[in-house]
């Protein structure tokens, strides 16, 4: 059975949101690097935690110090963002089109509740703060709630600097143990691919190198440049863009043979170049060799005792 138009649009929206979110988190992480943290800090991007069989939480960035934990929710949404109170959601207006999104403040509240429960269950006590960060300064925010800390990416480091003045609540040994437990929890989580989430048979998906704008097949002009004869757009990073979609849609690893078949390519040269450029992790030998995305790197600065 072919994918319905609505389900296809849902998947495309999820992919676009995931990619926009990633770029927003990258931009925010860049500004976090401006902060002069104390010597003891651990920053975990894309942090996941399983509270029980039916509840998971996902945090864009988790910052851990001896004095506090900071939960960061990043939104990379262009246009005018309007917060609605009842029911709580945000509405985006862009190019005379309106679309609703889940309320990021509700997401922060759920994440705060989840981390508090995890900390209590594991006998930890440390102040926990939350922050909502809009990655683009061109975003217009209206009716923002006053009880939630909200920033643009450039302003965010100043807030962290203030938190860094808090007195330590953990010893060096406690800090190291807490970060170790959180990292182990995060590393054990595998995010569900969208095809599984939407109950899509992967055989129903189009093969070939597809246009990121309209979804039709691209025509190769030269080694780097591809063009779409349907919408006229060009893509200089087409193979990498399609691989990103594969990881989001299907699974977190791929073989060379799978990739050649999926993208309908004949040469391994372009794939090898793209794998290296994307810094994919290579595992195994020969035909069984797999390539998977490198997980986000933790940032850590810790005193030695």
In a domain, 302, yes or no: no
In a domain, 77, yes or no: yes
User: Are the C-beta atoms of 59 and 68 separated by less than 8 Å?
Assistant: no
Domain of 225? Answer: 203-292
Work out the average pLDDT over 155-182: 92
Give the pLDDT confidence score for residue 297 in this predicted structure.
55
Distance CA 143, CA 61 (A): 25
pLDDT tens digits, one per residue of 69-124: 999 998 888 899 999 998 999 999 988 889 888 899 999 999 999 999 999 999 99
Distance CA 88, CA 103 (A): 6
Nearest to 251 by CA among 293, 213, 188: 293
Question: Cα angle vertex 128, ends 25, 133, to 5°?
Answer: 25
In a domain, 40, yes or no: yes
In a domain, 196, yes or no: no
In a domain, 304, yes or no: no
Nearest to 250 by CA among 194, 190, 181: 194
In a domain, 148, yes or no: yes
Q: Which of 189, 215, 250 is the last residue of a domain?
A: 189
In a domain, 125, yes or no: yes
In a domain, 298, yes or no: no
Domain count, the chain: 2
Q: Which of 154, 189, 224 is the last residue of a domain?
A: 189
We report the CATH number of the domain holding residue 83 as 3.40.1350
Kindly indicate the confidence band of residue 131, based on its pLDDT and cuts at 50, 70 and 90: very high
């Amino acid at each position: 059975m072919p994918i319905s138009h609505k389900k296809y649009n849902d998947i495309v929206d999820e992919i676009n949101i995931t990619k926009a979110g990633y770029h927003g988190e990258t931009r925010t992480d860049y500004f976090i690097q401006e902060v002069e943290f104390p010597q003891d800090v651990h920053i975990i991007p894309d942090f996941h935690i399983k509270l029980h069989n039916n509840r998971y939480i996902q945090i864009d960035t988790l910052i851990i110090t001896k004095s506090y934990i900071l939960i960061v929710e990043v939104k990379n949404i262009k246009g005018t963002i309007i917060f609605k109170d009842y029911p709580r959601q945000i509405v985006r207006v862009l190019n005379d089109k309106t679309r609703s999104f889940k309320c990021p403040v509700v997401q922060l509240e759920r994440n705060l509740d989840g981390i508090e429960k995890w900390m209590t269950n594991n006998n930890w006590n440390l102040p926990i703060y939350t922050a909502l960060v809009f990655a683009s300064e061109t975003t217009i925010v209206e009716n923002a709630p006053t009880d939630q800390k909200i920033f643009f990416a450039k302003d965010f480091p100043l807030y962290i600097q203030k938190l860094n003045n808090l007195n330590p609540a953990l010893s060096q040994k406690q800090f190291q143990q807490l970060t170790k437990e959180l990292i182990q929890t995060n590393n054990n989580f595998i995010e569900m691919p969208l095809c599984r989430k939407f109950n899509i048979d992967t055989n129903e998906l189009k093969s070939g190198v597809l246009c990121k704008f309209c979804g039709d097949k691209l025509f190769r002009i030269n080694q780097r440049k591809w063009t779409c004869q349907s919408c006229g757009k060009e893509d200089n990073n087409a193979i990498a863009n399609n691989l990103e979609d594969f990881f989001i849609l299907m699974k977190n690893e791929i073989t060379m043979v799978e990739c050649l078949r999926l993208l309908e390519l004949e040469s391994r040269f372009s794939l090898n170049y793209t794998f290296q450029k994307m810094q994919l992790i290579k595992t195994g030998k020969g035909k069984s060799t797999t390539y998977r995305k490198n997980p986000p790197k933790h940032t850590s600065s810790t005193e030695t005792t």
